[in-house]
Amino acid sequence: MTLSWVQIVRLGLVQACLGAIVVLMTSTLNRLMVVELALPVVLPGALVALHYGVQITRPNWGHLADQGGNRTRWIIAGMGILALGALGATLAIPVLESSFALGLALSVLAYAVIGLGVGASGTSLLALLATATAQSRRPAAATITWLMMIAGIALTAIMAGKYLDPYSHARLLVIVAVICSGAFGLTVLAVWGIERRVIARAAPAPIRFRDGMRDIWADTRARHFTFFVFLSMTAYFMQELILEPYAGLVFGFTPGQSTQMSGAQNGGVFLGMVLVGVAATGLRLGSLRVWVVSGCTGSALTLVAIAGAALWALPLVPLVVALGFFNGMFAVAAIGSMMQLAGEGRDKREGTRVGLWGASQAIAAGFGGLTGAALVDLARSLLPVADAFGAVFLFQAVIFIASALLAARIMTPRDTALLVPGE
């Protein structure tokens, strides 16, 4: 037996739970540190980069899954670790206000725990999907689970934003506690019993982690795709830590309004993914190269508009939704390709391959977020606030164009059968 559609959707609920917790850590808490606590943008940037940096362990989690470990156990344990880390990061907010040193120490510990939880749960989940999903269903399974994650992010951001005003530390802690406990409970219910009911393909012969990574890196297609993931995800995440502060400092958004804007952005990502999924799977329109290049180019043009929004009196929220839409277009194309490429090669080590690309994404996310935050702090020392943010958004647009050019160059015709089962 392989995963049924119902079981795939159940596993997608775990992705939704991961996104629900992480969005509060990377968006809401970031804005609170910068605007309400008046801390440098680079501080939350460094904390989020830490949580991504810890995820360099993803290949190790994937290798462990490939060796026949109990994936259900690691999925649930990882979600529990993530929830505890999120509660710790939330508790650090009022502590930062009263004792910076103590609050910083608590934040560093909490964000490291968050990274471990995401790495353990997320990589084990994707490894289970890659090995227990029928070949013809893999691309669609990737699309479904990622869309559910985006839906979880968007719904959580919108609902949390609704109840966060009027803001207080106590209200924030209650909201995060409810979301974390709900996510952990739903994860247990979602994965319970699935692994026992499906027969994944036989585990590969035991091999040392170092040897397995060397074999995968020798695969030209896997190596080139790793480079593309890093560059495009650097661009994707550069605005993550500066968009809500931009809305608060330049446009006067409240914490609730900026959190809702983040939810609206992820709603745009969801729509972009749905468009590509329907067009490529149902209508057989477009190729991986076309959707990736179009999404990256559209993201770049939208960032130019966001950079000049204050000067040109443009509404910010619709532009942010458009940015999410184009981000979703290229992201789902890359995800569909990743699920197909994960099964390539004679070793069939899906978990390790997924872990490699997950680590590349995590490093890029941390690097992109921290770079964006540091550049804003540097630019604010030289330029007015609106111009400082605008300069960073323009730099991000340039990276998106570079990603589009790289995709057009390295994605061969063999790669273009996006979301077409069996190809």
On whether residue 423 sits in a domain, the answer given is no
* b/e 68-101 (16+ beta carbons within 10 angstroms → b): ebebbebbbbbbbbbbbbbbbbbbbbbbbeeeee
Q: Which residues contact 324 (CB under 8 A, 6 or more apart)?
A: 264, 265, 266, 267, 268, 269, 270, 271, 272
User: Percentage of the chain surpassing pLDDT 70?
Assistant: 88
Place of tokens 């795939």: 8
Banded pLDDT at 418 (limits 50, 70, 90)? very low
On whether residue 212 sits in a domain, the answer given is yes
Banded pLDDT at 384 (limits 50, 70, 90)? very high
Banded pLDDT at 303 (limits 50, 70, 90)? very high
Q: Is the pLDDT of residue 410 over 70?
A: yes
Residue bearing the bigger pLDDT, 17 or 53: 17
On whether residue 421 sits in a domain, the answer given is no
| CA gyration radius, the chain | 20
Give the CB-side neighbour count of residue 404, counting CA atoms within 13 A.
20
On whether residue 71 sits in a domain, the answer given is yes
In this predicted structure, what is the pLDDT of residue 153? 82
Give the tens place of pLDDT for each residue, 127-182. Answer: 788 777 776 676 677 778 888 887 888 788 788 878 887 888 889 999 999 999 99
On whether residue 17 sits in a domain, the answer given is yes
On whether residue 121 sits in a domain, the answer given is yes
Q: Is the pLDDT of residue 417 over 50?
A: no
Residue 378: Cβ-neighbour burial (10 angstroms; 0-12, 13-18, 19+):
middle
Residue 361: alpha-carbon gap to chain centroid = 8
Which CATH number belongs to the domain containing residue 328 in this structure? 1.20.1250.20
In this predicted structure, what is the pLDDT of residue 87? 94
In this predicted structure, what is the pLDDT of residue 344? 61
**How much is the average pLDDT of 321-338?**
85
Residue bearing the bigger pLDDT, 334 or 139: 334
Could you list the residue range(s) of the whole structural domain that residue 365 is in? Answer: 7-416
Q: Is the pLDDT of residue 321 over 70?
A: yes
On whether residue 81 sits in a domain, the answer given is yes
| Count of structural domains, the chain | 1
**How much is the average pLDDT of 121-125?**
87
Q: Across all residues in the chain, what is the average pLDDT?
A: 83
**How much is the average pLDDT of 115-135?**
83
In this predicted structure, what is the pLDDT of residue 37? 83
Banded pLDDT at 345 (limits 50, 70, 90)? low
In this predicted structure, what is the pLDDT of residue 419? 37
Q: Is the pLDDT of residue 311 over 70?
A: yes
Give the tens place of pLDDT for each residue, 188-237. Answer: 999 988 887 776 555 556 677 777 778 777 777 778 888 888 999 999 88
**How much is the average pLDDT of 401-408?**
88
Q: Token pair for residue 383?
A: 């330029």
Give the tens place of pLDDT for each residue, 34-54. Answer: 878 888 877 887 888 788 888
CA atoms of 318 and 342, how far apart (whole Å)? 36
Give the tens place of pLDDT for each residue, 346-370. Answer: 566 667 777 788 888 888 877 888 8
Q: Is the pLDDT of residue 416 over 60?
A: no
Q: Are 25 and 86 in contact (CB under 8 A)?
A: yes
In this predicted structure, what is the pLDDT of residue 187? 94
On whether residue 1 sits in a domain, the answer given is no
